[in-house]
Amino acid sequence: MANIISGTELASVIKKDIKQETDRLSKCGVTPGLAVIIVGDDPASKIYVNNKKKACEAVGFYSEEIALPADTTQKDLLAVIDKLNKRFDIDGILVQLPLPSHLNEKAVIGAISPKKDVDCFSPFNVGRVMIGDYRFLPCTPAGVMELIKSTGIEISGKNCVVIGRSNIVGKPMAMMLLNESGTVTICHSKTENLAQVTSQADILVCAVGKANFVTADMVKEGAVVIDVGINRNEDGKLCGDVDFEAVAEKAGYITPVPGGVGPMTIAMLMKNTLTAAKLNASAAMKKTGKK
C-alpha cells in the first residue's frame, strides 16, 4: 500500500512559516496585499476566491476582492488592473479564471505587472520559469514539486511523466521537473500507447480532468503518483484523475483528492505573494534610500 502524501498537512506547515515571516515583516511596516478579481458569478470561481481570501487572513495578509459583473468590458477590466498595478499596498494581483467568453484572457493576464503576477501566468514570468531564472513559480506545479520533494525521493535522473499539456499545469510542470534534472515526457490527448509511456514513470503527474483516468495498469510499481485533477464522480463526490484505491495498491506514494494538490496550490499562492511583497518593499526602500 502506498504512502499517502497529505497536501493538507504540508500546506499547513508552509502557511505557518509564511505567517511567521509576515509577522516579522509587519513589524517593519510591510503587510503583503493580494487583490483577487472575479468577473461574473460562476459558483466554482466564487468558492476558489473565498478560499484564497481565507488563506490570506490565516497568514496575516491584506486581501481585497474585486467582484465585477459578468458584462464587464475588456476596457473596464484593464482599467481596474492598471489601478492595482500602481497601488503600493497591493503586491499580488490575481484574475480568477475562466473569464466570460467576451473577454480576452491573454490580454488580461498580460496586463498584470510581472512584479505582481503571483499566479505566474504572464508570458514574461512563464519565460523566466523556462530559463530557470524566476521569482515566482506557477502555484499548482510548484505545489506538486513540494509534494514530490516531501517524499525524499530525488527527481534528478528519474523518469518523470506528465499527463496534460495546459499552460497552467502540464507545460510548466514539465519544465520544473526538467529544471530539477528529471527525464521528462509530456503526454496529451494525442499521445499513442499512453499506458506504455506512463508505466515507465518513476514520477507520474496527472493533470487531465477525467475521473478514474489513470488505472493501476498504467502505473509502475513503487512510483510517486501526484493527482492534480479535480472532478466529480458519478455520485457527485470530489475526486481526482487517478483510480485511487487500485493505484494506491501499486504506487510507492500517492496524493489524495481532496487533500492533495489543492491545498498546496493555495499555499504556493501565499508564498508568491510574500515574495512579491518582499521584492516590492526592497525596491521601495532602494528608491527612498532606506536600508
- Residues with a catalytic annotation lie at 52, 96, 119
Whole-number minimum distance, CB 223 to ligand NAD, in Å? 17
Whole-number minimum distance, CB 207 to ligand NAD, in Å? 4
Taking CB under 6 A as the criterion, the residue among 2, 34, 59, 163 binding ligand NAD is 163
Tell me: does residue 194 bind ligand NAD (CB under 6 A).
Answer: yes
Tell me: does residue 10 bind ligand NAD (CB under 6 A).
Answer: no
Identify whether the C-beta of residue 58 lies closer than 8 Å to the C-beta of residue 85.
no
Task: Return the residue matching grid coordinates 493501476.
Answer: 216
* 184: CB partners within 8 A, 6+ apart: 160, 161, 162, 174, 177, 178
Taking CB under 6 A as the criterion, the residue among 18, 95, 169, 197 binding ligand NAD is 169
Nearest residue to 64 via CA among 39, 40, 94, 41: 94
What whole-number distance in Å separates Cα of residue 253 and Cα of residue 224?
A: 5
Could you please report the per-residue DSSP string of 145-204? HHHHHTTT---TT-EEEEE---TTTHHHHHHHHHHTT-EEEEE-TT-SSHHHHHTT-SEE
Tell me: does residue 168 bind ligand NAD (CB under 6 A).
Answer: yes
Taking CB under 6 A as the criterion, the residue among 170, 182, 252, 256 binding ligand NAD is 170
Sign of the CA dihedral running 283, 93, 130, 110: negative
* 32: CB partners within 8 A, 6+ apart: 22, 25, 60, 61, 62, 91, 92, 273, 274, 276, 277
Tell me: does residue 148 bind ligand NAD (CB under 6 A).
Answer: no
Could you please report the per-residue DSSP string of 47-69? HHHHHHHHHHHHHT-EEEEEEE-
Given the rule CB under 6 A, which of 99-107, 125-133, 159-167, 272-280 is the region that contacts ligand NAD? 159-167
Whole-number minimum distance, CB 32 to ligand NAD, in Å? 21
Residues 207-246, one symbol each (x = binds ligand NAD by CB under 6 A, - = not), give xxx------------------xxxx---------------
Which residues are registered as beta bridge partners of 162? 186, 205
Apex CA 226: angle with CA 49 and CA 239, to 5°? 60
Tell me: does residue 165 bind ligand NAD (CB under 6 A).
Answer: yes
Tell me: does residue 280 bind ligand NAD (CB under 6 A).
Answer: no
Tell me: does residue 191 bind ligand NAD (CB under 6 A).
Answer: yes
DSSP assigned state of 259:
S
Whole-number minimum distance, CB 194 to ligand NAD, in Å? 6
Given the rule CB under 6 A, which of 33-41, 60-68, 121-129, 260-268 is the region that contacts ligand NAD? 260-268
Whole-number minimum distance, CB 213 to ligand NAD, in Å? 7
Tell me: does residue 261 bind ligand NAD (CB under 6 A).
Answer: yes
Tell me: does residue 166 bind ligand NAD (CB under 6 A).
Answer: yes
Given the rule CB under 6 A, which of 14-22, 107-115, 160-168, 283-291 is the region that contacts ligand NAD? 160-168
Interface contacts to ligand NAD, rule CB under 6 A: 140, 163-166, 168-170, 187-189, 191, 194, 207-209, 228-231, 261-262, 265
